[in-house]
Structure 1
Amino acid sequence: MTPISIGGVDLPPAPSAALGTVPGVSSPHESRRPAPAPAEPDSGLVPPAVPAQRAVRGRVPAGGGGGPGGDALGRRLWGRLAVAPAAARYVAVLAVLSAVAAVVLRHTVFPLLSVNNDEGIYLLHARTLAEGRLFPPAPRPAQSYLPWLGTVVDDHYVLKYTPFVPAVFAASLFVAGSIDPALAVIAAAAVVVTYLLGVELSGSRRVAALAATLLALSPLVLLQSAMVLSYLPALVLLQATVLGVLRGRRSHRAPPVVGAGVALGVAAAVRPYDVVLLLAPLAVWLLVASAGRRWWLLRWLMCGLAAPVVIVLLTNAAATGNPLRLPFALLEPDDRIGFGLRKLYPADGRHDFGLTDGLSSVGDHLWLLGGWAFGGVVLAAASLAAAARRRLSAPAAMLGLGGLVFLIGYVGFWGAWNAAELWGGIRFVGPFYMVAVLVPLVHLGAIGCAWGAAALVARGRRLGFAAFVPVVAAVVALTIVVLTGAVRDNLALTGNDRDLRAMLRRLPDRPLVFVAANPAFLGHPTPVTANGPDLDDPVLYAIARGVDDLTVVADHPERPAYLLRLAPAYDRSPGSPSTARVERLAVRAGDRVAATVAVAAGAAPPRSRSARLVLTAGRDRLSLPVDPRTATSLTFTIDDDGLDVNDLAVNNAAVNDPAVDDHDTGSARAGAARRPPARPTATVVRGGRGTSVTVTLYATDRLGRERTVDQQILPVRLAAGRGAPDRDEPAVTVLGSVGQVDEVGTGARPPLRVTLADAGGARGAKPRTGGRAE
């Protein structure tokens, strides 16, 4: 067996049967010569690249026996492990440790999911599949229970992503009642498949084991392995695709190519853009370099692709009505690749995404990847050096080129810009869009590092260690800093969600909690406010939307109703406000119902030039200027003839107003001089619809730009046919707050507080007892 030469240093040849046949470094990877007889038994982690029957006969240890029984099986497995090469045993241990780390991080850092709210989509889809349904049911009113980035189709919700990754977690839920096994398997598979592909690309088990180590120790992989997301499963599928094609092409065996086709089909369904960018150069090289076997490869690859393609077409047809339309674009057509105006969901503001934005986004991701990949900068330099010195095999070089194409392609992907610039979550959970870049980075980096280390050692051991030790120490130190910082930040965010969940679980009698969410989805900005697929959890969540809230309350008369108000920047970062308060809701009905709006002192952002309160009900709008530095309260009356200026009573000396709590008065002083109340301005809203009252606080900065500070909806229903004098239905029915119940968190509070006035303060108003009203 020819020894392997790296940087002029001959390394001892590794046995060729453990964890797959090892091609030589100088091999063109397409030799049809029969493989030499295996010198050692296979480790048993994956099938070898030799015919199965011959491999099994060569691997069974003496005395292991092939008879039935668990004892014989245990002896066989132990025998395989005992005779496996050291690199294979090391990778097996590393895979187990990675699986354990994924589960531990899951239960310590992300027990309530992470700030990446897409986790809630995958988990909800997995729970739905585990119950034997393809889509979560959508009870009426469907928009009131809408999950994050979901959309309503007929009588069910369609979630944003294809069902392949959720199906993995659904299988884990179905078998074990937990997602922990799925997380463990994905983490371990990422390590093992990296090693196997490294063997194919470098021809050295030691280099392949180094690549697996670099992947396993990357903070980005460690954190992603504990999340219910698609990025790490996609990395496994991408590497399995390349591994199967290269192994099948080299050995001229169909099963690996068929397996590659399956992996390719699933990966393309999960993250199609990543597949096209990363694998395009390798695909072109395979077509050019596989003369005489091109159609053979394509034929077996298509055989593997068939099943995933059929599943995608069927699920697309069920979800969108079009087999060729993915659910991804069903919610918002402007959420797509390319430059221009982009939106994440229909109510999202339109974002002008241009070339400079795309370049800054990729730059931010690469800057973070330098620390979130274990030795990211060193690996990039080593990869370039290995390419310059022509130490890469052709497939490895094509993967490296695919990594560059990937980065160029992501310049035009606005989702990465949204994560980096608008949301900023990549600072806490890592540059997750770059997980696929780890494939060429760890493999080419491992080859370059092994070659560089061997070259240095060849010039002298002291020189090699003098250059090697400081670099490794710096990489380890940077990794520890990045990982501990990420764990600290995520623990702070998780702590906020723990406090929120504990407060909501203290509410009695299986409560119904309306979430004043912006945007109007459940599970955002916190995963705590998410329902299961059957809407039968101890706490039922609904979106505070308006008149539909009265229907939701009536549908659940056994549940007391509450309103959850979150700080506007809740959990945007570890230092953002985490205040959350719960208010008791009640139904009031009568000819007229009064409500009070309280604005805390200093509610507007610092240096605001002016502020105004706007009340909107259908076509009627009342605008009232308020002092952005002073606490303000006003009372308005709701009747069946809409809003007008006579329905509004303003009191600027809010320090004496019982509707404003002491902690909301801020800088307002007792006995402050009362100024004449401002006169509201009435306008007509073109196309205005609905009967509920929306209260909005706007602030204008010194440049004259106005933005929304806070908003709250007061659900109002007017009697149908209110002109009939003998009607039994009250003219006005309102669902409103009757007082705060609890509060957790720190930082700025929601500045608006809308409560029902005292029953005696509105002529003809009376409480209703139906629907748990008070």
Structure 2
Amino acid sequence: MPEPVLDRLGDPRPSWRRPLVVLRSRLAAVSRPGWTVAAAAVLSALAAVLINHYLFPYLSINNDEALYRLQAQTLAGGHLFPSASTPAQSYAPWLAAVVDGHYVLKYTPVVAGLFALSLVLTGGTVAGLAIVAAAAVVATYHAGIELLGDRRAAAVAAWLLALSPLVILHSAMMLSYLPVLVLYECVLVGLLRGLRTGRGAPLVAAGLALGLAMAVRPYDTALVLGPLAVWAVHQGARGQWWWLLRWVGVGLIVPVAALLSYNAAATGSPFTLPFALLEPDDKLGFGDRRLFPTDPAHRFGPVEGLVSIGDHLWFLGIWACGGVFLAALSVAAVVRRRLSGPALAVGVGAVLLILGYIVFWGAWNAAELWGGIRYVGPFYLMPVLIPLVFFGARGLVDLAVARPWAGGLTAAACLGLSTVVLVFAVGANVSFTRRDRNLTNMITAQPGRVLVIVSADPAFLMHPTSVVANSPAMDGRVLYAVSRGRADFTVLADHPDRSPYLLRLPDGYNRTLESPSAARLERLRVVDGLSIGVDVRASVPAGARAARLEVISDGRRASYSLDPAGPVTATLTISPDRVDVAGIGSASTISAVPAAGVPTAGVLAKMDHSVILALFYTPASGGGERFLDRQDLPVRVDAGTGVSVVAPDGQVGAVGSGLAPAIRLSVG
């Protein structure tokens, strides 16, 4: 029998078997903690896929998800920015600015790029979600090895992260918070491993991850990783300072260059992020803050900042896997000096992040004005999970070694708390999903190609629900546009092949579980005439002490007192030069400026003759006057021929419960 031919390494086995041998040896080298982490990673990826499919099929109540989806779809289609159709503001996505015929979205496209790659390779985004979920577990394990020097404690930290309700839900959501956490941990692993082994490749990887994280959340990155950078430079001062910065800098080159190029294309300046392009008052610091130009100014001061951070910390105490227990274990680990220098630097970074968010109004908005952290967790403080699970794991392992019964009881308490929070969160989000499903079914039940003009405030698509969203190509069977006065005529004329409808969403739709969720779908038609009569009907909550209707047209605001005990009916007669109101008496006040506090879908053009109706009431339980509903009536004055009105022409569907849109319009 002939002797086997030796390969160049002297291995007598056939070359096709060598990869299998290498794989077998690698698997044999995996430690027992490593195998448990691999199981956690697989389970996390599977959970991300299942939760996304069953709990978030219409995305979550955080409408930034729809923004990331649109950005991913745009990148997957080979474009950097979504094209803006005319009129651009009528199709504007959530928090998008119109620049040179395209929409500039609020966030840089790093995270969206991951989901775009998933779309190109698999046709969907769930693969990207699964990869991020698994990567979070694996990165936590490897970062724990570097920070704690103990594979068992690192594995416990990975499981604590994987079992945190905050991570479980966000693993199924297209948002930036979990991907950035993974990038932070990649920086930890690369930096510490590079310093420990003296190799440049891990430092290059750390620089790459650092650059990507800075491109997504620069403020958070500076706070979270700043202390670790100081520690690393201090370590480098012992003769390898230049070596350290050189290799990290190599990794930074590509993401920093890409970020500067994107900024230049988006804002005109390489050093200006698109974050505040739409609204300059959406920024750090105290003062009047707003998300978009028509958003009423929100006074944000130190008290509001402290309250919001207090709420975030309270929720983190239950949305981490046994957060309050981990906090106690973390304190014990610090007091007993069981943590290394870089681990303590990571802890200082978490403290800086908490303090830093006292001066950012976004956390206050999420906790107090919107309240979404009750349903999707305190996402702004997700980086605090990094030291929390590492320090907590160190303390938990030490406790289990010293007193096994106490360690087991503490672990059970952590799991129990997480289970309770997760059950509540899933139940709440199921309710939101049910609302979106009913809304989607009502719209898609209409035959043929459909145009839905959305009457909601503020004047963006993808808000207050991600259901009302277009693809970048705007070629779906259902096309959405925002009601914007006279611009609605152009939208209707540009799509004569589509049946037009008006979707009425109440103020505060889908904001919380207690918010109104009743929506109404009505047919639309264009009515022409020398003058047009529009019937107005409205309903006021039972027991209201007072009510009034404001009619705003051609720069004038007329206020009419209503009898809250009976049905509200009136008739608008719209002529080329005026709007007359009959059936509810005379106007009590007339002014040239719209009333402060009336939600508006955008400032109407100077020559826009459209009519705005706003309904207010005073509850019997006491307190001041409250806004109830508004509806815009697009009007166009045709020189020499009269007027045209885009008017509702009968209801075709209604879904939801709670307070429904109170105003109904019709043309005989």
User: Could you state the TM-score of these two structures normalised by the residue count of structure 1?
Assistant: 0.81
2:611 to 675, 693, 699: 693
The reply on whether 1:753 has 2:664 as its aligned counterpart is: yes
1:279 to 225, 249, 270: 225
1:562 to 501, 506, 525: 501
The reply on whether 1:137 has 2:83 as its aligned counterpart is: yes
The reply on whether 1:534 has 2:452 as its aligned counterpart is: no
How far off is 1:168 after superposition? 0.2
For the residues of structure 1 that align with 2:296 and 2:269, how far apart are their CA atoms?
Answer: 28
Is the deviation greater in 84-93 or in 554-563?
84-93
The reply on whether 1:649 has 2:567 as its aligned counterpart is: no
Secondary structure class of the residue paired with 1:595: strand
Structure 1 pair 712/693, CA: closer, same or farther in 2 (3 Å)? same
How far off is 1:122 after superposition? 0.3
How far off is 1:452 after superposition? 2.6
For the residues of structure 1 that align with 2:531 and 2:549, how far apart are their CA atoms?
Answer: 22
How far off is 1:454 after superposition? 2.1
Check conservation: 1:602, 1:629, Cα contact below 8 A.
no
Corresponding residue for residue 28 of structure 1:
none
- Please give the residue correspondences for 1:506-655 in structure 2 after superposition, counting only pairs within 5 Å: 506-602=445-541, 608-643=544-579, 647-650=580-583
Corresponding residue for residue 473 of structure 1:
412
How far off is 1:471 after superposition? 2.1
How far off is 1:679 after superposition? 5.0
For the residues of structure 2 that align with 1:315 and 1:122, how far apart are their CA atoms?
Answer: 16
- Please give the residue correspondences for 1:300-699 in structure 2 after superposition, counting only pairs within 5 Å: 300-456=247-403, 464-465=404-405, 467-602=406-541, 608-643=544-579, 647-650=580-583, 677-679=585-587, 681-685=589-593, 689-699=607-617
How far off is 1:512 after superposition? 0.3
For the residues of structure 1 that align with 2:565 and 2:527, how far apart are their CA atoms?
Answer: 33
Check conservation: 1:258, 1:302, Cα contact below 8 A.
yes
How many equivalent residue pairs? Answer: 648
Aligned AA for 1:393? Answer: S
What does the per-residue CA deviation read over 1:447-494, in whole Å, with 9 as the maximum and x for residues that have no partner? 1222232233xxxxxxx31x2333222222111110011000000100
How far off is 1:620 after superposition? 3.3
For the residues of structure 2 that align with 1:596 and 1:681, how far apart are their CA atoms?
Answer: 22
Work out which of the two has the higher radius of gyration on C-alpha atoms and give 1 or 2.
1
How far off is 1:609 after superposition? 4.3
Is the deviation greater in 353-362 or in 467-476?
467-476
How far off is 1:523 after superposition? 0.8
Structure 1 pair 679/153, CA: closer, same or farther in 2 (3 Å)? closer
For the residues of structure 2 that align with 1:483 and 1:220, how far apart are their CA atoms?
Answer: 9
Secondary structure class of the residue paired with 1:623: strand
Check conservation: 2:464, 2:510, Cα contact below 8 A.
yes
Cα root mean square deviation, aligned = 1.9
How far off is 1:689 after superposition? 4.6
Structure 1 pair 713/388, CA: closer, same or farther in 2 (3 Å)? same
Structure 1 pair 546/66, CA: closer, same or farther in 2 (3 Å)? farther
Corresponding residue for residue 246 of structure 1:
192
How far off is 1:319 after superposition? 0.5
1:103 to 42, 49, 52: 49
For the residues of structure 2 that align with 1:701 and 1:295, how far apart are their CA atoms?
Answer: 69
For the residues of structure 2 that align with 1:630 and 1:272, how far apart are their CA atoms?
Answer: 56
For the residues of structure 1 that align with 2:499 and 2:397, how far apart are their CA atoms?
Answer: 65
Check conservation: 1:602, 1:631, Cα contact below 8 A.
no
How far off is 1:382 after superposition? 1.4
Check conservation: 1:81, 1:89, Cα contact below 8 A.
no
Check conservation: 1:596, 1:633, Cα contact below 8 A.
yes
Corresponding residue for residue 712 of structure 1:
631
Structure 1 pair 210/679, CA: closer, same or farther in 2 (3 Å)? closer
Check conservation: 2:503, 2:520, Cα contact below 8 A.
yes
The reply on whether 1:87 has 2:36 as its aligned counterpart is: no
Secondary structure class of the residue paired with 1:524: coil
Corresponding residue for residue 22 of structure 1:
none
Aligned AA for 1:297? Answer: L
Structure 1 pair 386/257, CA: closer, same or farther in 2 (3 Å)? same
What does the per-residue CA deviation read over 1:216-249, in whole Å, with 9 as the maximum and x for residues that have no partner? 0001000000000000000000010111111111
Corresponding residue for residue 215 of structure 1:
161
Corresponding residue for residue 58 of structure 2:
112
For the residues of structure 1 that align with 2:19 and 2:435, how far apart are their CA atoms?
Answer: 49
For the residues of structure 1 that align with 2:113 and 2:314, how far apart are their CA atoms?
Answer: 34
Is the deviation greater in 520-529 or in 88-97?
88-97
Check conservation: 2:400, 2:408, Cα contact below 8 A.
no
Aligned AA for 1:449? Answer: L
Check conservation: 2:330, 2:394, Cα contact below 8 A.
yes
For the residues of structure 1 that align with 2:517 and 2:383, how far apart are their CA atoms?
Answer: 33
Structure 1 pair 531/376, CA: closer, same or farther in 2 (3 Å)? same
- Please give the residue correspondences for 1:104-183 in structure 2 after superposition, counting only pairs within 5 Å: 104-183=50-129
How far off is 1:287 after superposition? 1.7
Aligned AA for 1:573? Answer: T
How far off is 1:167 after superposition? 0.3
Q: Give the unaligned 5+ runs of structure 2.
A: 1-8, 595-604
Structure 1 pair 313/507, CA: closer, same or farther in 2 (3 Å)? same
For the residues of structure 1 that align with 2:257 and 2:20, how far apart are their CA atoms?
Answer: 39
How far off is 1:96 after superposition? 1.0
For the residues of structure 2 that align with 1:568 and 1:324, how far apart are their CA atoms?
Answer: 37
For the residues of structure 2 that align with 1:494 and 1:342, how far apart are their CA atoms?
Answer: 30
Q: Give the unaligned 5+ runs of structure 1.
A: 1-56, 457-463, 652-676, 723-729, 759-774
Check conservation: 1:618, 1:685, Cα contact below 8 A.
no
Aligned AA for 1:67? Answer: S
How far off is 1:92 after superposition? 1.3
How far off is 1:710 after superposition? 1.1
Secondary structure class of the residue paired with 2:516: coil
Is the deviation greater in 550-559 or in 618-627?
618-627
Corresponding residue for residue 20 of structure 1:
none
Secondary structure class of the residue paired with 1:175: helix
Corresponding residue for residue 6 of structure 2:
none
Secondary structure class of the residue paired with 2:489: helix
Q: Percent identity?
A: 52
Corresponding residue for residue 67 of structure 1:
15
Corresponding residue for residue 601 of structure 2:
none
Is the deviation greater in 168-177 or in 359-368?
359-368
Structure 1 pair 680/212, CA: closer, same or farther in 2 (3 Å)? same
Aligned AA for 2:342? Answer: P
